[in-house]
Structure 1
């Protein structure tokens, strides 16, 4: 760990330099991931897209992130955050340029689908920050990383329309949006070099612990082996839901034959994953893991469910809130979009706040309070209608968003304290559950009213609260074995 105690935001040395570069990398990935959102109207105009094609682009944008977060978690644990983040920033600039210069819907759809991979960058920084900060500062540090980085999507919404206007009026370029989007790709490509040359995986003298085997997550008991397989099912369910949405029964992007191929591929992929999981953990059926090396997978399962409700609802609500405000209060879309952006704006303080509360008052207690607030917040949002005063509705939405984002901060204050060498994979799985939540909630929204949509989220938050009662407060230390066979104990409280 870096020797300098405390979190000094104005410092740019040691662990603080790593934290600042980490949130900047995350910020850029989110800016690229959501660079299309504020420019959808002009993009649709240029490419001649229908309303259903626009919605398809939004779905495709989050589709690949579910498996990508799992894969990136494994790559991070194996190759280290330095190399993994640099590769994501560099490689994902390619589909960004593809989207910028797409000539039709098919090209734009393929580029958006591939860009879902950049949404997995988040996982890398979680492991990086956990290597550099002690347990009593980790929640706050992860909260700053998550909150400030997450702001990249709001920054894209605020800046890219202005950049497009400037390019268009100054240089007389007709499709100026293409250059705005390409600029975010250049930013990503440039930062991959800055990142790689300025960070190290651990502070000097620390060991970077890697999983014993890769290809599947390690668990330490037979019960946990089965629980891990059960927790994989919702991810495949969400990918199945996306396939259905893109099939002839949905928006007809896939033909009947391609839809069947996609479903069969998902089943085969699941069978392969079960086999890989058995290869890595099959020894559990013949001999027990010593108590000192065990960790409880139920901790991961609880955090997955909580991230489904917190980040899943944030992704879904951010994409529907401008429309909700516009329709409920008869506002024009620009004004409604500005009001809705307040929800994302809360990330700057709420997510670090959730991490800080976890450091100060304990992981479990903080999560229980925030999850209860989340359920009540969405319950209140379900009762908003045109008879309400607009300022009161905005206050309720912002209060709800505080509990959502502080909850995300509190979830990732606990993730790195479960098993150090698996932190990337655990963060990957929990992060993927956030995307699963978004897919489920957005699918629900396409079938029901806004009020029912908010009530469904409130109900899942209640389920999260109940599962939280089974979580145990991280305490004591994590045992890891160095390459020379010596034991290191990592404090978790």
Structure 2
């Protein structure tokens, strides 16, 4: 692995992999959010109701939570090169289905399946960690996350222009279909352009892909505890689709899904025990131990950071419009400044982590995040508009830099489990978004921001339980010898 000076514009293999990776991530978010800026045209073309539009938005995130867990496991087991290529290839199919849909039911099925592509970012976290040393990893992961995440903003900028340029009732179909073609073509570009590891390096795999490994009895029970919010959120999404919500599914189907989630959770408990039952009998050698508490803390922090970003991006145009009595188009333009901060904020959060330490950086950024949302909770129509936008942008910096700092720490916990850890942490971001948006449906904007500020404060308190990654982590080579990988 290269320890040369970090040069973003060099032609070294590690930089090539970084650029291949963020472009792949960019395309996944371009596809995942290709419907959002075109909903007005889609609704007009197919005569969709307001409730059907809201249902599409829910379906777009429903599958992403379990998908991130599954993709994390697949990445650790089969490698990022194969996993990312297959994901891009397969998800081009429901993208084409969405573009060709002629009624709401077809749109809904395609949108539900497209939620799977939202898990793509997990793959690059593991791939980038294989190619950069610990003292450059935060910067590299931050660039990967920040530039890739910009795919959602690019969709909002480019796709309406494409649809309007083509014109007619089918303009949106060509715009959506084009993103599917891009995903299909790039799946082959990515497959032939990257390797999982530098030449001669070993790609460490977990002992099982059925469940995450832990190294103590206490960590086993903590793992089960951290699975509960994931299933609770899926149950909440099921409720939203039920007759008590938007009535997309019948009461009988709702009950079947609830029972299925219970059975699925019990199956997860069974798999976790099968993979980790040895820790109840024989203590794990200290050199091979890792603390799952680190994962739990990062999960909560991503719940507060990326979860709030997804929620706030969804509601900020309406917030500006209603608070300051603005035209919705102008309000949306102002709100876009929140998402645009990603280009610099995430890389900067990773770079600061490399330079000053993971824990210290997270403490500072999470404090700023909590104070930022407390400030947004105090915004009223009496504020100068410029000051309100500045407050949103300042808050956005701490949110997105915090996301970069979280994933500067994720790859330093246990190398062979990086995909699974990134998958669980990433899933908590979606859990946060669903929870925050559900809260928003019952409370005022001000109380909504206070809830996020409170969650960030809880994350800040939990940070004091986190240990700064130091020394090295041990992985077992195929020949049985032990390799020590530096984490500081």
Worse overlay, 53-62 or 125-134: 53-62
> Which consecutive residues of structure 1, in runs of 5 or more, have no partner in the other structure?
none
Aligned to 2:432: 437
SS of structure 1 residue aligned to 2:120: helix
Aligned to 1:274: 269
Aligned to 1:175: 170
- Matches for 1:231-380 after TM superposition, within 5 Å: 231-380=226-375
TM-score, normalization by structure 1:
0.98
Task: Kindly tell me the number of residue pairs found equivalent between the two proteins.
Answer: 488
How far, CA to CA, are the matches of 1:11 and 1:338 in structure 2? 35
Matched, 1:122 2:115: no
Report how far residue 7 of structure 1 moved: 1.9
Aligned to 2:43: 44
Report how far residue 16 of structure 1 moved: 0.3
C-alpha RMSD over aligned residues: 0.8
How far, CA to CA, are the matches of 1:134 and 1:51 in structure 2? 49
- Matches for 1:404-483 after TM superposition, within 5 Å: 404-483=399-478
SS of structure 2 residue aligned to 1:49: coil
Worse overlay, 326-335 or 449-458: 326-335
Report how far residue 47 of structure 1 moved: 1.5
Worse overlay, 10-19 or 85-94: 10-19
CA offset digits 1:369-391 (Å, max 9, x no partner): 10010000000101111111111
CA offset digits 1:187-209 (Å, max 9, x no partner): 00010000000000000010000
Aligned to 1:94: 93
Matched, 1:54 2:58: no
TM-score, normalization by structure 2:
0.99
Matched, 1:222 2:217: yes
How far, CA to CA, are the matches of 2:450 and 2:474 in structure 1? 42
Report how far residue 12 of structure 1 moved: 3.5
Aligned to 1:153: 152
How far, CA to CA, are the matches of 1:13 and 1:223 in structure 2? 43
CA offset digits 1:228-247 (Å, max 9, x no partner): 00000000011011011111
Aligned to 1:490: 485
Aligned to 1:106: 105
How far, CA to CA, are the matches of 2:2 and 2:179 in structure 1? 32
Report how far residue 265 of structure 1 moved: 0.4
Report how far residue 214 of structure 1 moved: 1.5
CA offset digits 1:263-300 (Å, max 9, x no partner): 00000000000000001001111111111100000000
How far, CA to CA, are the matches of 1:108 and 1:122 in structure 2? 24
How far, CA to CA, are the matches of 1:431 and 1:492 in structure 2? 21
Matched, 1:132 2:131: yes
How far, CA to CA, are the matches of 2:214 and 2:148 in structure 1? 30
How far, CA to CA, are the matches of 1:48 and 1:105 in structure 2? 9
Alignment check: 8 A CA contact 1:12 1:20 kept: no
How far, CA to CA, are the matches of 2:345 and 2:133 in structure 1? 21
SS of structure 2 residue aligned to 1:92: helix
- Matches for 1:384-423 after TM superposition, within 5 Å: 384-423=379-418
CA offset digits 1:247-276 (Å, max 9, x no partner): 111111110000001100000000000000
Report how far residue 448 of structure 1 moved: 1.0
Aligned to 1:16: 15
SS of structure 1 residue aligned to 2:140: helix
How far, CA to CA, are the matches of 1:258 and 1:389 in structure 2? 50
